[in-house]
Amino acid sequence: MALEPRRQLLVSRGWVQAVAIVMIFGFTVMGMLAYRTYTGEPPIPARVTDDSGHVLFTRGDILAGQAVFLRNGLMEYGSIFGHGAYLAACGETLEPAS
């Protein structure tokens, strides 16, 4: 039984190697960015004061507010930087504390 000759690639080996390198590089960068996204967090100050030094709120207040936000599913009402943070689970408007 005679072996058939090996068929030549439609593209050169250089193209195959270039595509492989680009894919490896791309997935490496994407993996690094995903890691930084899920491990990094914005800084939360220990306390925020007004000009006269009175404490307005603390880190604990911020974390408690985040817990309420997540518990009530308020992320469904807009971005965390927009109006969604002022809506309650039932849709009523919450006024910021003054």
Q: Kindly report, residue by residue over 69-90, the tens digit of the pLDDT.
A: 888 777 666 555 555 555 555 5
Q: Residue 10 corresponds to which tokens in the numbers above?
A: 């439609």
Give the phi and the psi of residue 92 in degrees, each rounded to 5: -75, 150
pTM: 0.44
pLDDT at res. 20: 96
CA atoms of 27 and 78, how far apart (whole Å): 31
pLDDT at res. 78: 58
DSSP assignment letter at 93: B
Q: Under a CB-based contact definition with an 8 Å cutoff, are residues 88 and 94 in contact?
A: yes
Answer yes or no: is pLDDT of 7 > 90.
no
Q: Kindly report, residue by residue over 24-56, the tens digit of the pLDDT.
A: 999 999 999 999 988 887 888 999 999 999 999
* Domain boundaries defined on the chain: 12-41, 44-98
Res. 92 pLDDT band, cuts 50 70 90: low
